């Protein structure tokens, strides 16, 4: 029999200790070695029970959130496994359901979609009675599905995750890490306002669309959950009552009907200016032509049928949809500043309370439509990183900074977002004279320049616009040449951002383009180091 001392240390196999109740490890015992690679057990929290090892399974690393930690950073030692689909969560917080009126609101929304999908031609073929029966049956089926979906939908907060459970045949669990959370918006469509409910929408970094909208919750529950999620995400703002809620005890009283967001008020858009600005649009000027077309059709054909009138009005409504939607969305627009965030509240039929972190603003775009110039008006828009810019519905994007206003108001608001930047003082140089072959009409409008803090670009003939990009937000710089540009010795310089389009200086001289690209790169690096 060989002496154990003669064997190498890798051959020593101490016997496994007997299970010991209470805290682990027991006093005076050494933790057993694991299979290759050897790894000691992590020290538990004082007094915390150590989980019994599974045969052959490695022990978790000592710090929550480290690679290999089971089920994410939300689980401490000794936490239970995730619940089976449809089972009890087994966590300290029970799973919550949406408001019981949620299926009714979803069914009402489905009824509108169903009627629009059946179209006027179906009404003309089957008659009003059968049309109503068909719409009612489809709406009833949609409501039943909404009730079933509500029954199997739930949510709860586990550590630093929001978990949403949904689905009947194909059940799905979505875990949203709150570290990636940028904002939680309280949205109240018209039906939700009538029933005292609200919808919660989450904006997550890198999300292609709004994550896990919780529709619908009571206004008080939506506001409470919003504050809790933002607090867990590490960016809890001051107490912000959702639209329609009463202020918390000790908070400043807000007059009834006021629509001012919390923080320092910056600007409130007059609804009269908003209406007039939308009348000064090309769509509004099409109204007389549409009315003349309808009148000529009735006078020549003598057709006054309901189907003809409804179809014509539907076509005209499609033309007017954009300006009408802008008026409804930007009604009672209020802008305020709260520490390092902008707070926006707007909407008539659907009220929205949004939060825009200033450190995530990538670009600011000022636009002068042709017909607005006689009034000296412009609008300001933002590009914000981490928001769902890829959604088809642009109303979900917090890009409104000033729907309509004059130049002094715009410069005052721009100074809050980008201190020291004024639209009237941007150094914008035109491209060389040979660029007129590519831009015969707009060559005098094009401009680009380097401000102390931002890269500025001007473009547009009928609709003039200026885009400013802070140097610290520039992700990459590109120099692009097309076939015609190569023959003329021109190039375009692109400054790309994380929020979307960025800015582009069109048709610059090749030498100037490369110098501009090098200068942008250097200033971007310097701004990031300074930040």
Neighbours of 456 (CB within 10 A): 24
For the chain, percent of residues with pLDDT exceeding 70: 66
Three-class secondary structure assignment of 337-391 = EECCEEEEEECCCCEEEEEEEHHHEEEEEEEECHHHHHHCEEEEEEEECCCCCCC
Q: Which is more confidently placed, 49 or 492?
A: 492
**pLDDT digit string, tens, across residues 23-57:** 444 444 444 444 444 444 444 444 444 444 444 44
Q: Answer whether residue 446 shows pLDDT above 90.
A: yes
Output the pLDDT for position 179: 84
Structure tokens at 383: 């590009």
Cβ–Cβ < 8 Å for 57, 68 = no
The residues that bridge with 177 in the sheet, in sequence order, are 161
> Distances from the Cα of 247 to the Cαs of 95, 184, 240, 266, 386, in angstroms?
27, 19, 8, 21, 30
CA distance linking residue 261 with residue 183, whole number of Å: 15
Range of 276-285, 301-310, 436-445 with top mean pLDDT: 436-445
Pick from 275, 271, 311, 269: nearest CA to 294: 311
Q: Look over the chain and give the mean of its residue pLDDT values, rounded to a whole number.
A: 76
**pLDDT digit string, tens, across residues 366-415:** 999 999 999 999 999 998 876 644 444 555 556 889 999 999 999 999 99
> Is this prediction's pTM over 0.75?
no
**pLDDT digit string, tens, across residues 176-224:** 888 887 778 889 988 899 999 999 988 776 655 666 679 899 999 998 9
CA distance linking residue 208 with residue 391, whole number of Å: 7
SS3 content of the chain, % helix, strand, coil (to 5): 35, 25, 40
CA distance linking residue 35 with residue 265, whole number of Å: 63
Output the pLDDT for position 499: 64
**pLDDT digit string, tens, across residues 327-375:** 999 999 999 998 888 889 999 989 998 888 888 899 999 999 999 999 9
Cβ–Cβ < 8 Å for 333, 346 = yes
Torsion of CA 431, 434, 435, 436, to 10 degrees: 120
Output the pLDDT for position 183: 75
**pLDDT digit string, tens, across residues 49-92:** 444 444 444 444 444 444 443 433 333 333 333 443 333 444 45
Contact partners, residue 212, CB within 8 Å, separation at least 6: 155, 162, 164, 174, 176, 202
Cβ–Cβ < 8 Å for 476, 444 = no
Output the pLDDT for position 207: 59
Cβ–Cβ < 8 Å for 31, 25 = yes
Pick from 317, 310, 341, 133: nearest CA to 237: 341
Output the pLDDT for position 31: 45
Q: Where are the beta strands (DSSP E) in 211-332?
A: 211-218, 264-268
Question: DSSP character for 160?
Answer: T
Output the pLDDT for position 312: 67
Q: Which is more confidently placed, 288 or 40?
A: 288
Output the pLDDT for position 263: 74
**Number of residues that make up the chain:** 531
CA distance linking residue 135 with residue 209, whole number of Å: 31
Output the pLDDT for position 119: 63
Q: Which is more confidently placed, 418 or 143?
A: 418
In which band, very low, low, confident or very high, does the pLDDT at 266 lie, cut at 50, 70 and 90?
A: very high
In which band, very low, low, confident or very high, does the pLDDT at 293 lie, cut at 50, 70 and 90?
A: confident
CA distance linking residue 381 with residue 399, whole number of Å: 5
Output the pLDDT for position 37: 46
Q: Answer whether residue 95 shows pLDDT above 60.
A: yes
CA distance linking residue 411 with residue 221, whole number of Å: 38
Count of alpha carbons within 13 angstroms of residue 274, beta-carbon side: 21
Can you tell me the mean pLDDT for 256-271? 72
Cβ–Cβ < 8 Å for 342, 359 = no
Count of alpha carbons within 13 angstroms of residue 120, beta-carbon side: 11
Torsion of CA 47, 51, 52, 58, to 10 degrees: -130
Torsion of CA 247, 250, 251, 253, to 10 degrees: 70
> Distances from the Cα of 7 to the Cαs of 36, 38, 448, 476, in angstroms?
18, 18, 76, 60
Contact partners, residue 47, CB within 8 Å, separation at least 6: 23
The residues that bridge with 163 in the sheet, in sequence order, are 156, 175
> Distances from the Cα of 409 to the Cαs of 68, 247, 267, in angstroms?
53, 30, 8
């Amino acid at each position: 029999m060989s002496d154990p001392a003669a064997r190498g240390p890798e051959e020593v196999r101490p016997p496994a200790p007997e299970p010991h109740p209470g805290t682990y490890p027991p006093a005076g015992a050494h933790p057993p070695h694991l299979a290759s690679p050897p790894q000691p057990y992590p020290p538990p929290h004082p007094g915390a029970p150590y989980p019994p090892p599974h045969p052959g399974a490695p022990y978790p690393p000592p710090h929550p959130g480290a690679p290999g930690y089971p089920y994410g950073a939300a689980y401490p030692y000794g936490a239970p496994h995730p619940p089976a689909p449809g089972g009890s969560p087994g966590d300290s917080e029970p799973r919550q359901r949406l408001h019981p009126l949620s299926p009714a609101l979803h069914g009402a929304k489905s009824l509108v979609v169903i009627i629009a999908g059946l179209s006027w031609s179906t009404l003309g073929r089957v008659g009003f009675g059968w049309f109503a029966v068909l719409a009612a049956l489809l709406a009833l089926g949609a409501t039943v599905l909404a009730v079933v979906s509500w029954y199997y939908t739930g949510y709860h907060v586990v550590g630093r995750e929001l978990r949403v459970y949904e689905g009947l045949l194909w059940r799905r669990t979505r875990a949203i890490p709150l570290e990636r959370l940028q904002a939680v918006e309280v949205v109240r469509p018209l039906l939700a306002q009538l029933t005292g409910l609200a919808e919660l929408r989450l904006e997550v970094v890198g999300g292609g669309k709004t994550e896990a909208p919780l529709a619908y919750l009571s206004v008080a529950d939506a506001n409470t959950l919003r504050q809790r999620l933002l607090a867990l995400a590490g960016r809890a703002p001051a107490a912000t009552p959702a639209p329609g809620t009463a202020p918390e005890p000790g908070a400043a009283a807000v007059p009834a009907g006021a629509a001012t967001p919390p923080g320092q008020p910056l600007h409130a858009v007059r609804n009269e200016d908003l209406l007039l600005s939308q009348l000064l649009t090309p769509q509004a000027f099409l109204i007389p032509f549409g009315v003349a077309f309808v009148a000529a059709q009735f006078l020549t054909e003598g057709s006054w049928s309901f189907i003809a009138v409804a179809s014509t009005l539907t076509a005209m409504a499609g033309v007017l949809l954009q300006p009408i939607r802008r008026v409804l969305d930007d009604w009672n627009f209020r802008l305020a500043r709260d520490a390092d965030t902008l707070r926006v509240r707007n909407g008539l039929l659907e009220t929205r309370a949004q939060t825009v972190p200033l450190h995530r603003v990538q670009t600011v775009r000022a636009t002068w439509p042709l017909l607005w110039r006689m009034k000296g008006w412009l609008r300001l828009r933002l590009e914000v990183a981490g928001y769902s810019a890829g959604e088809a519905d642009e109303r979900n994007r917090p890009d409104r900074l000033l729907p309509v206003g004059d130049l002094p108001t715009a410069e005052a608001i721009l100074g809050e977002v980008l201190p020291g930047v004024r639209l009237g003082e941007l150094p914008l140089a035109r491209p060389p004279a040979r660029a007129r072959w590519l831009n015969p009409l707009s060559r005098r409008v094009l401009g680009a320049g380097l401000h102390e803090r931002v890269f500025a670009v001007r473009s547009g003939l009928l609709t003039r616009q200026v885009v400013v990009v802070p140097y610290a937000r520039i992700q990459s710089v590109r120099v692009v040449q097309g076939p015609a540009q190569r023959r003329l010795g021109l190039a375009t310089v692109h400054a790309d951002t994380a929020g979307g389009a960025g800015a582009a200086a069109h048709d610059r001289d090749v030498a100037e383009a490369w110098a501009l690209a090098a200068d942008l790169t250097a200033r971007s690096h310097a701004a990031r180091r300074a930040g």
